[in-house]
Every structure is written in C-alpha cells, then in structure tokens.
Chain A
C-alpha cells in the first residue's frame, strides 16, 4: 500500500503576534511546527502501513527550510519525504497550491508508485480554509472523505475504505473505494514517538527536493502569486474587546437578585423590554 501524506510547515499560531503598526503577521522568531491536523493524518497513514505493509511518502510545498518538518515526519516513521520548493510557488492561494501539490502527487505516482490513499489535515492553522484537501482530490479525480475522525477499516483486496466522518448533525459512517483522499480531524490517534532506527534514518536521510520543473509543472502561470486569484485586501488585528468585567458586591442581597439588579442598572432598555414582554402573560 502506498500512502501520500501532505503536510505543511506552519508558524506556531499560539505564539504569533500581529505588528501593532503595520498590521502584518510577525513571523520572525516564531517557531514553526507541522500543522497539527497533518500529524493526525500522518499517524493514520503510519498505522495503515504498519498493518498492511507498503510505504508512506510525505509531501510538502514550502521554502527550503520546510525540510525541517519533513525530517521530523521521517523521525515519526514516514518512509520517504518530498520537498516541493521553488520561488514560483511563493504567494500561492489554495487554487495555486492544489495545482502544485496535485502535479507533485502525479509525479510521485510515476516515480514511486500510485498512491492508494492521499491524506491531508482537515485544514491548516495558518490559512484555515480547509480547501486544499478537496482541491487536490478534485484535480486528481479522487474520491474524497473529508472531516474524518477515524478510519474504521481498509480492505486492500476489495479496494474499499470505511471511515467515520464528523458532521454537524453527528457522525456519519461512510464507505468508499480506493484510491481516495482523506482529510483528517483532530482524533485520538496522537502521533507516535519514532523508534531509534527511524530517528537515525531521518537524521541522515536525503530529502527528495523538486523544483516546479522537476515536479512536472507545465503551466508556471498557474503557480504561486500569479496563479492565485485570491487577493488579500487588508490584514488587521481584531481590536481587543472594550467590555470589562465588573465585580458585583452582593451587600447581603440574594446573589441572583443582586445580579439582575446590577444588570438592569447598566442596561435599562433590557429591563423595559423584559417587563413589556412579561405583560403578555
């Protein structure tokens, strides 16, 4: 079984700040991590490989420094890593990103064997679009299972996969045919700690590095900023909320009454509305 996992190196959003004057994201000095959803995808892939044999290839598009995240994925136990890096890819929106990644997956398919499953995280924590997974599936003509919390079963002989998909109404149990693309939610399958052999291999591994040309990109105008119809008009930091917490002194009053009294004191309109609606009873 050959599984491709798309990962993205993202700034650790917990530590990101917005520049107070220029309103741009201050990336300097912010540590980078593998997009957390991608790690659930990677673990799901590794578990399937451990069960059925085969290989896991991790793929990322990013600057040369994104190699760190690939090496880390190898430490967790992935078999191969491919870095897609080229200045032509810079500034890509999801349309251009899916074009580049789909092209690279085709090349992976030609070079290392056709994938049975392509995994992505549900979304990245820096873009939050959740469009890249489905976009790749569409471009490659793959069936897709999105928002998957759990892979129940894969039958390599029958070429089927059954998974639990979380939706607003509850959990859907879906079955589809391989090959397919799966986007993973945060799940219970936390990423493993790689064995010593994996760590050693990762530290010394050669990362396969492809430029746009290497990956077989034919139309460079579909890549990067050029290929991105999305225009960022403005970036701004939400202004901090003005409301402040107030401490209410109960002063021997029953707490509930005291709270309502204080509330009405601050919002007389609310009191009037409530009283008028109460008259209806």
Chain B
C-alpha cells in the first residue's frame, strides 16, 4: 500500500482516460493515470478517424503537433452484394479547409502524443501497471485501486474508470453488469501498406487528402455489422465487425469475414499488392443509449467505451470518449472546488452535464436503432442489399426490355422478398428509430 494519496486515479490511457487525466491535471489536480500497456496506445485499437472538434476543446493547437494521417475530403457509403456495390459518395473541396474537421490517425502514434500532453500537464502516468480491482471501504465506496505491482494498492478521492469496453473492474466490483453479447461488436482490422502515390491514385486523392469507405451488406452474412476502409498516409486500414451475439449464433469467424471482404471485387483492387504489417481485434460497444450502465457512484465515475458511449450509426466513438472524459473531469473538479465529498449525489453532476451534451442527446436519438438492426439483420444486411443491387443492375443494363417492364419487375422483386406489409413495416420502423 502506498501512503501517498492522489486527488484522482484514472484507469486506462485511451481517448477517454487521456482526456480526463489531461483536464484534471490542467486544473491543477494531483492525478495518477494507470495503463496496462507498454505505453498509451500500445493496446488501443480503432479504425481510426479522429474528430477534430472534440480534441480542439482539449488541445486547441493539436494540428501543429499531433501525428495525423490524412484529413478527410470524401465519404463513401457502399451497399454490397457478393459482386457489386451501390454507392453514395460525397466529396467536397470544402473539406480542404484551414482547420479540417476529420482526420485518419494511427492510434499507437496518436495516443503516445496525447499521453505526452497528459504528462506535460503534470499528471503521473504509470504504464505496464494493471489495475486488478477497485479498493472499496466497508460501505462499498470506492477509495482507490489495487494493482498487479508489489504493494500496489493506492488511494484517491475519486477513480475515473476509463478501462475500455469490457468494463472488467466495474463488473468485478459489482457496480455494473458485463456488456451483453448483443450489445458489443467484435471488429477485426488489418493495416495494408502501400506507397503513398499508390494510395493517392487508387482513392483519387491529392496531398494529404483522405477518403473513407463504410460498407454494409452481404459481407456480414446476414449479421449486424459493417466493413470499413480508411486511407492513411502510407497504409490502408481495412476491417469488419459484427455483433458478438451474431457470431455466436451463426458460427461465422471474424477472419473468414475479413478474408471475404478483402476478396470482394470492389475491395480487392484497392489493396492489391499491399503488405499487411499489423492486424488487431477489438470489441466495440454497440448497444447505444439503452446499454449505458450506471455512470457514477460513491468515489467513481465511468467514461468512454467503459460507459458504452458509442454512436454506432454515425461510427463515432473516440469523440464521445474524449468528451465524456473531459466532462467527467470538469464535474470532478467542480465538486472538488466546492470541497464537497466525491459521493454519488455530488458526482451525478457528471451525468447531468453529459446529458446536456451531444453525447447522450445523440445516443438517445438512436436508442431503438440497435435493437431494430439486430432483430432485422437478415433483411437489412442480406435481403435489401441484394435487392438494391439487382435493381440497380436491371436499371443500368441495356438489353431491349421495355423500361416499364423493368420497373415493375424491380418492384415485384422487392414485394416478393418482403411483401408490402414487410416493406412498409421496415420503412416505418427505420424512420421511427432514426427520428
């Protein structure tokens, strides 16, 4: 047991943990951050897209220092069947602005830099130190952490749980349940290295411009999931993820999905001749608003993935993590400034501030979406993509069939597959979940 006390202990050095530690340290609090990896970023996995606005709130001058890959000027959404893709592409020169809005990043490099800012701000950062459980007093109040180091118990007024999606510590301490298989996706990713010029030619980019492709359809074999392709400077991040419960049910393997995604005729040419230097896997919280656990208690708050704060529809996670980390830190600082104890009631300020932010507002908006996509995954990820692809082919293929016949056969294919009630029902449910 260590005699020295800290104002706050942050468990984890991902986006949420770094944001929390940085904010509290900047406020002059005595902060200890514990990370199990060799360095911040060594264990962190993301696609990865960085949303500038949320980082700017923490480090306004980040564009001059942070290791950024490409700023995004193009977004492609692809609906895939086995041989085709129907795409919606949006590319704008407006994104070549002075302060771009979105960047691709490589987390191992980015987080290392982020962590250096945390240290500069005065926090003590200990890596290769795993928190094994929370230290609690007789009343269940969290008073610190126990680590895997000798004499490794250490106390603080408040513990910020930024431990990632699994939420092991919170679960072990009985503060929450484990995430349910239908509320987490398992994503696998590879880094395909190619010369800069090749990437720029294949994605039609110039300079540091970047493009992203989000793909859904038959690649997920009827499971709820998505594939992604992000362009970095000298490599392409390519991955696919599906709900864990769907993997359980179908017996599909993540690497099998990834291989098929890579072999898709729309994807294969993009990565042809590349060298795979890294691969990784990660769980992503997908349960949305309804899966958010209790956010605070006596002596603790939970932020980022650990709080299941992830917007699966807009593929936003790291920004919710950064924002929740920052807001939690600000709430803690306010409680401390008032010299109030770190009780559940006082820390509820964090919950209140989070509810007023876009984080909870956005998740609330889509609260029914995860369940809908999950229950209707066969339709949304298998039937519709195939129907849409066939319809498009029918539309563009010139074969002497009168257009009127083509249109009615397209319509027939949809009605045959889903019936009128099914079609209207799906549209209605989707619209309601989106609202």
Contact = CB atoms under 8 A, between A and B. Distances in A.
Contact of A203 (B126, B151, B153, B154): B126
B147 interface: yes
Interface string B269-302: 0000000000000000000000000000000000
A196 interface: yes
Given A196-B2, A197-B2, A203 B150 contact: no
A75 B149 CA distance: 11
B149 A195 contact: yes
Query: Which of A75, A197, A204 gathers most chain B CB within 10 Å?
Result: A197
A194 B125 contact: no
A200 interface: yes
Nearest to B129: A199
A266 interface: no
Contacts, number: 34
A194 B124 contact: no
Contacts of B153: 196
B4 A195 contact: no
A193 interface: yes
A195 B152 contact: yes
A203 B33 CA distance: 11
A193 B152 CA distance: 11
Contact of A195 (B32, B124, B128, B150): B150
Interface in B128-142: 128-129
Interface in A190-211: 193-197, 199-200, 203-204
A197 B2 CA distance: 7
The 9 lowest CB-CB distance pairs between A and B, nearest first, are: A195-B150, A196-B152, A196-B149, A203-B124, A199-B126, A195-B151, A203-B126, A196-B151, A196-B2
Nearest to A75: B128
Contacts of A200: 2, 4, 32, 124, 126
Contacts of B147: 196
On chain B, which size bracket covers the interface?
Answer: 10 to 19
14 contacts: A75-B128, A193-B148, A193-B150, A194-B149, A194-B150, A195-B150, A195-B151, A196-B150, A196-B151, A197-B151, A199-B126, A199-B129, A199-B149, A203-B125
Contacts of A196: 2, 129, 147, 149-154
Contacts of A203: 124-126
Contacts of A194: 149-150
Nearest to A204: B124
Query: Which of A75, A196, A197, A200 gathers most chain B CB within 10 Å?
Result: A196
A237 to B, nearest CB: 18
A203 to B, nearest CB: 5
For chain A, what secondary structure do more than half of its interface residues adopt (helix, strand, loop), or is it mixed?
helix
A40 B152 CA distance: 24
A169 B289 CA distance: 71
A199 B125 CA distance: 10
Nearest to B150: A195
Given A196-B147, A200-B4, A200-B124, 17 more contacts: A75-B128, A193-B149, A193-B150, A195-B152, A196-B129, A196-B149, A196-B150, A196-B151, A196-B152, A196-B153, A197-B2, A197-B151, A199-B128, A199-B129, A200-B2, A200-B32, A203-B126
Contacts of A204: 124
Nearest to A77: B150
Contacts of B2: 196-197, 200
Contacts of B4: 200
Nearest to B149: A196
Nearest to A192: B150
A85 to B, nearest CB: 19
A127 B4 CA distance: 43
Nearest to B32: A200
Nearest to A31: B38
A204 B151 CA distance: 18
Contacts of B151: 195-197
Contacts of B154: 196
A196 B2 CA distance: 8
A107 B418 CA distance: 84
A75 B147 CA distance: 15
A200 B2 CA distance: 10
Interface string B223-254: 00000000000000000000000000000000
A200 B153 CA distance: 12
Interface in A172-195: 193-195
A196 B150 CA distance: 6
Contacts of B150: 193-196
Nearest to A194: B149
Nearest to A72: B128
A218 B150 CA distance: 44
Interface in B107-146: 124-126, 128-129
A204 B125 CA distance: 9
Nearest to B1: A196
B15 to A, nearest CB: 21
A200 B127 CA distance: 10
B98 to A, nearest CB: 31
Nearest to A195: B150
A203 B122 CA distance: 11
Interface string A196-234: 110110011000000000000000000000000000000
Interface string A37-76: 0000000000000000000000000000000000000010
A133 B237 CA distance: 46
Interface string B147-179: 111111110000000000000000000000000
